[in-house]
Structure 1
Amino acid sequence: MPSAPVVPRPAATVLLVRDHPTPPPGRTPLQVFLQRRAAGMAFAGGMTVFPGGGVDHADRPDATHWAGPDPSWWGERFGCDPELAGALVSAAVRETFEECGVLLAGPHLPEGTARLRAEATVRPRAEATVRLRADLVARRRTLADVLEQEGLVLGSDLLRPWSRWITPETSPRRYDTAFFVARVPDGQEADAHTTEAVEATWWHPAEALESWERGDVQLMAPTHRSLQEIAEHADAASVLAAADERVIRPILPIVRRTGAQVTVMLPGEPGFELAGEAPGSST
């Protein structure tokens, strides 16, 4: 008798976007930051992905270091309870700082200020950034510790909800992942200083998809679909505006195996409903 599916672990992923000031001919200004994971990673080894990772026990929302929509608002958008939603936002900010050095945070603002601006954000002092990132990765500090030390607040205003993906039920390691979009704040630069990736750089979305079609990079279904979606937009402002209008429903792909061939099917694709009933599918 088949064993019960593994319970998915909550996770957060951030589509970090920016506008190239002088895009090459045939490309729009929009770029997105992608990392190729080390081949030996337990999950998605060798895959090209957005920054992100699992929710940590310390990823708890702290109202005294929080700016922007509160956890209840995020819970409504992602279809989960406020406590989990706050942890997802916190994880998104922490993972983005750990993996590429971009801190989605800003100064304390006057009461009633509605939204942080990307150009008004502040990152830790240059001499402190390396140490703080290392402490976060080693779990010697929490994100709340970093924000308190630097006099900053988490900028939930700098994030937008994009989608929610759940790893197929047949996978031995599963995640229920909230996908966010965020524009890189002015004065900050994404880098590749993480042990989890062997390379990281900015891509035009269409360029990444073309590289996937040639077989030069490997993309999981959520990454591929997300790149397709943002490729419809010319710049970062358009992506952020589109995020405000999206209705987010959990997406649970089905993996169908026919001999040595593995097919990942998504809701809305031809044959998806039948695949869910077929022998050897994930349901």
Structure 2
Amino acid sequence: MSTPVDLTEGLDGAKLAVTVLMIRDSPTGLEVYVQERVSSMPTFPNATVFPGGGVDPRDFELDGVESEHETFGGPSLMHWARSLGTNRNRARALLFAAARELFEETGTLLATHSDGTPIPDATQYHPQRLALESHRLSLSQVLARHDLTLRSEWLRPSTRWVSPETDEKRFDMFAFVAVQPPGQEPDGNTREAASTGWFSPSLILDGWRAGLIRLVIPTWAQLLILSRFDCVRDVLEFLRRADMTPIIGDPVDDPRFEEFYSFTPPERF
């Protein structure tokens, strides 16, 4: 029988992980929320990344004494299993992990009240973030405690990347796109980031080309895709055709990523 620890393993034994590209429209065009990781982080130190992290055993748990639908809203888990190319248990865990990581790292809560009314200000739930980070609570428990429902339809599947076999720490990473919920503003209150903010995808890529920031290939590739669009609506339309076939290892021969592998940004750190 599989244990919860076994369930957190993805393709070829890589650890299941999630990342969330939170986007919004601005007067100057499309913006995405990013954070620069602190130098002490064991993975991707000093890199500019999207909020995210590993899937945890608590992301698999059912909702305690409540039935599943009490804290899970949106399309069925069967729909999500097909969309993500996995089974229902892992689909649920990926969705809860994505929402949990976004809430832990930004204070943004992809949920509504159980009756469907929106949450215009999520700061009242921010005291729960430390309990989530320290693994004392699961997101299901937080939602049930406050009579909230996860809005899974606010997460749009984007891409899936699997680390090379040569990497010491390997991840099977599912990327999602989420539109900034109205009234909620990310606060950057996380020990994992030295700085955070909203930027146009093109500006971030220009910073990488100038050697001002560091990017890893999955982040770079997703920024390149976002840079083609001027507004949230166009991004969401594009994601209707998202391909979740995993990109495995370093795709050095894939022409889509030629710039990343052929260009060496000037070192300014």
Question: After TM superposition, is the score higher than 0.5?
Answer: yes
Question: For residue 88 of structure 2, what is the aligned residue in structure 1?
Answer: 82
Partner Cα separation in structure 2 for residue 63 and residue 9 of structure 1: 27
Question: For residue 103 of structure 1, what is the aligned residue in structure 2?
Answer: 109
1:129–1:95 CA distance, 2 compared to 1 (3 A): same
Matched, 1:34 2:21: no
Q: 1:231 aligns with which of 223, 227, 232?
A: 227
Q: 1:121 aligns with which of 92, 99, 118?
A: 118
Matches within 5 A, 1:52-91: 52-60=52-60, 62-91=68-97
Partner Cα separation in structure 2 for residue 210 and residue 218 of structure 1: 11
Q: Once the 2 structures are TM-superposed, how far is the Cα of residue 39 of structure 1 from its aligned partner?
A: 1.0
Q: Secondary structure at the match of 2:13?
A: coil
Question: For residue 265 of structure 1, what is the aligned residue in structure 2?
Answer: 252
Q: Once the 2 structures are TM-superposed, how far is the Cα of residue 267 of structure 1 from its aligned partner?
A: 3.8
Contact in 2 for aligned 1:167/1:253 (Cα 8 Å): yes
| 2:118 aligned partner, one-letter code | T
Q: Secondary structure at the match of 1:245?
A: coil
Which residues of structure 1 form unaligned runs of 5+? 24-28, 110-115, 255-263, 272-283
| 1:187 aligned partner, one-letter code | G
Matched, 1:165 2:161: yes
Matched, 1:206 2:202: yes
Matches within 5 A, 1:177-192: 177-192=173-188
1:122–1:166 CA distance, 2 compared to 1 (3 A): same
Contact in 1 for aligned 2:107/2:122 (Cα 8 Å): no
Contact in 1 for aligned 2:70/2:144 (Cα 8 Å): no
Question: For residue 261 of structure 1, what is the aligned residue in structure 2?
Answer: none
Q: CA RMSD in A?
A: 2.0
Question: For residue 260 of structure 1, what is the aligned residue in structure 2?
Answer: none
Per-residue CA shift, 1:18-63, capped at 9, x if unaligned?
A: 111x22xxxxx10000011111111111110000000011102633
Q: Once the 2 structures are TM-superposed, how far is the Cα of residue 70 of structure 1 from its aligned partner?
A: 2.2
Q: Once the 2 structures are TM-superposed, how far is the Cα of residue 67 of structure 1 from its aligned partner?
A: 0.9
Question: For residue 250 of structure 1, what is the aligned residue in structure 2?
Answer: 246
Partner Cα separation in structure 1 for residue 163 and residue 138 of structure 2: 27
Q: Once the 2 structures are TM-superposed, how far is the Cα of residue 249 of structure 1 from its aligned partner?
A: 0.7
| 1:54 aligned partner, one-letter code | G
1:215–1:183 CA distance, 2 compared to 1 (3 A): same
Partner Cα separation in structure 2 for residue 166 and residue 63 of structure 1: 31
1:242–1:121 CA distance, 2 compared to 1 (3 A): farther
Query: Normalising by structure 2, what TM-score?
Result: 0.84
Q: 2:189 aligns with which of 190, 193, 196?
A: 193
Per-residue CA shift, 1:72-98, capped at 9, x if unaligned?
A: 212212211111111000000000000
Partner Cα separation in structure 2 for residue 155 and residue 49 of structure 1: 24
Q: Secondary structure at the match of 2:189?
A: coil
Contact in 1 for aligned 2:71/2:150 (Cα 8 Å): yes
The percentage of aligned residue pairs carrying the same residue is: 34
Contact in 2 for aligned 1:50/1:223 (Cα 8 Å): yes
Partner Cα separation in structure 2 for residue 239 and residue 72 of structure 1: 24
Per-residue CA shift, 1:107-160, capped at 9, x if unaligned?
A: 224xxxxxx7xxx5316763x333111111112211011111221101101111
1:125–1:219 CA distance, 2 compared to 1 (3 A): closer
Question: For residue 14 of structure 1, what is the aligned residue in structure 2?
Answer: 20
Partner Cα separation in structure 2 for residue 45 and residue 72 of structure 1: 37
Partner Cα separation in structure 2 for residue 170 and residue 125 of structure 1: 41
Q: Which has the larger radius of gyration?
A: 1
Query: Which of 140-149 and 31-40 deviates more?
Result: 140-149
Contact in 2 for aligned 1:165/1:252 (Cα 8 Å): yes
| 1:219 aligned partner, one-letter code | L
1:266–1:159 CA distance, 2 compared to 1 (3 A): farther
Q: Secondary structure at the match of 1:193?
A: coil
Question: For residue 264 of structure 2, what is the aligned residue in structure 1?
Answer: none
Q: Once the 2 structures are TM-superposed, how far is the Cα of residue 64 of structure 1 from its aligned partner?
A: 2.2
Per-residue CA shift, 1:203-238, capped at 9, x if unaligned?
A: 100000000000000000000000000111111121
Partner Cα separation in structure 2 for residue 137 and residue 194 of structure 1: 10
The count of aligned residue pairs is 242
Query: Normalising by structure 1, what TM-score?
Result: 0.80
| 4+ runs deviating over 6 angstroms | none
